[in-house]
Amino acid sequence: MMIDTEQLDKMQAKQDDFVSQQVEVFLRYLGRDSRTGHRLADLKKAEVAALQDKLDAISREHGEAYIQGIQPVFTPLKARHFNSSWNWVRQDALMMWMDIL
């Protein structure tokens, strides 16, 4: 038996509508909103747009050279830890001795 592609598309569209209606009924039964994720994403997009506008205003006011000049340069790999307190005490004692002399 052959089915026309237009009829098949219509039947699939009806089935998709039925499934989406069922999902909405289940969500209403559970007391959940299907648009919660979309609303949260819209809020985040608005926050990102506002922050981007602020950054663009700063960039227009001060220029790109200023923005590049205030970028952080700290890298944890270059951090140095001083664990030789005995050496500092020795140096302080030597400085005190020199001050006395």
Instruction: Note the pLDDT tens digit of each residue in 14-33.
Output: 999 999 999 999 999 999 98
Phi, psi of 29 (to 5 degrees): -65, -40
- State the average pLDDT over residues 40-44: 96
> pLDDT at residue 81 above 80?
no
> pLDDT at residue 90 above 80?
yes
Burial of 27 (0-12, 13-18, 19+ CB in 10 A): middle
Contacts of 58 (CB under 8 A, 6+ apart): 67
Looking at this protein, which amino acid is placed at residue 3?
I
The model's confidence at residue 91, banded by pLDDT at 50, 70 and 90, is: confident
